[in-house]
Structure 1
Amino acid sequence: MALSLVRKFMGTRPNTDVVRSFAKRRWHLKGQIEITAMAKGFFSFVFSCEEDLSDVLCGGPWVIGKTSLALKHWSLNLDLNDGIFGSSPIWVRLPGFPLEFWHEDVFKGLASSFGELLSVDSMMEARKRMVYVWICICVNQNTKLPSSVDIISKLGKWTQPVEFETMSCLF
């Protein structure tokens, strides 16, 4: 089970064939994958190739229909009833973000206002795309998400609109 992931779909669970079709179309796997619907809304994803598992966890964002695909490593001790899915990773898009605020401390401050910073988009971090900021944050599923956030720094104050996507992040 070392190459296994588990996912619980919140809300409407997609059909197993839809999930398989999505994986085939979007993940471009080198090896094989076995996708199984489980009890209580869970799916298991068993990969034959460790590189595929890593690519899926670190890739994304992944969305099936309007449902996020937040994945967690499977282990023998994993208790599917212990609330591990009480929080979810979400991607936060900050359109038109001023370059003078592009700094990890600013991103951490933004994340801490409603969750925990998990990662920064690799294209943005490498400065290959600087049109918008794209960060992954872990939030409690009961958190009310704002439509904008205020950024205050030594450079001044900026009110930033935010867009949220519940999508795949490694957690």
Structure 2
Amino acid sequence: MSFKAKLVGDIPGAFAQAFKFHADENEEPFSNEEVDDPPEGTVAIKLSKRTKMNIRAKWAHSLIVKVFGQTVGFHFLHSRIMQLWKPAGRLDYIDLENDFYLCKFRLVEDFEKVLKGGPWFISEHYLTIHAWEPYFKPNVVACSKVAIWVCLPRLPIELYEMEVLKEIGRAIGPVLRVDANTAVGTRGRYARLCV
């Protein structure tokens, strides 16, 4: 059994809640009301809610990725991602501006495996991932949420209880996983949590 396989399974709903996946499909970030007259030389196009749902549906199992702290080329990153993730189905890879890339999975299982299987590193640099979102603009976005592993050294052994570790982790951010060795208390030098 691999190290990742030994990790405690999902904390139900943790990823969905932390990254706001499965947002209410009826939720609309912009109003369908009439817009003011656009500036001269531009045009405003109003799309129906149905049209928006249809054009967004094909991106539901897509991830936006960026190598944190390093600029990498399209072909290099694509090759490394394919080696790292080993998707069972097709993975379409699209170059966006500002060093962001869009990975569109054909299989939901591949999407969930990558999303929950990290953290991921490319050439010793952290690969930030988050679910595709409508109106994503790479030139103005700032990464505000990243799943990371934290190490808590010299934690007293009586605190190695799942609920206590989750409570400690919540002080940092939403707890996504607890290392299996940490959860059962077989390693007492440090606790590892994914937040």
Q: For the residues of structure 2 that align with 1:22 and 1:66, how far apart are their CA atoms? A: 12
Tell whether 2:176 aligns with 1:119.
yes
Match of 1:18 in 2: 76
Match of 1:141 in 2: none
Match of 1:53 in 2: 111
Secondary structure of the residue aligned to 2:114 is: helix
Of 29-38 and 117-126, the range deviating more from structure 2: 117-126
Secondary structure of the residue aligned to 1:6 is: strand
Match of residue 157, structure 2, among 64, 86, 99? 99
Match of residue 69, structure 1, among 118, 124, 127? 127
Question: TM-score scaled to structure 1, two decimals?
Answer: 0.64
Q: CA offset at residue 10 of structure 1? A: 3.1
Match of residue 90, structure 1, among 148, 153, 167? 148
Aligned residues: 133
Q: CA offset at residue 38 of structure 1? A: 1.2
Tell whether 2:189 aligns with 1:130.
no
- Superposed CA RMSD in Å reads 2.6
Q: For the residues of structure 2 that align with 1:37 and 1:130, how far apart are their CA atoms? A: 44
Cα separation, partners in 2 of 1:39 and 1:62, compared to 1, 3 Å: same
Larger Rg: 2
Tell whether 2:55 aligns with 1:2.
no
Question: TM-score scaled to structure 2, two decimals?
Answer: 0.57
Which structure carries more strand by proportion?
1
Which structure carries more helix by proportion?
2
Q: For the residues of structure 1 that align with 2:169 and 2:111, how far apart are their CA atoms? A: 30
Q: CA offset at residue 134 of structure 1? A: 1.8
Q: CA offset at residue 29 of structure 1? A: 1.4
Secondary structure of the residue aligned to 1:39 is: coil
Secondary structure of the residue aligned to 2:191 is: strand
| Partners of 1:108 and 1:117 within 8 A in 2 | no
| Structure 2 runs not aligned, ≥5 long | 1-58
Cα separation, partners in 2 of 1:14 and 1:108, compared to 1, 3 Å: farther
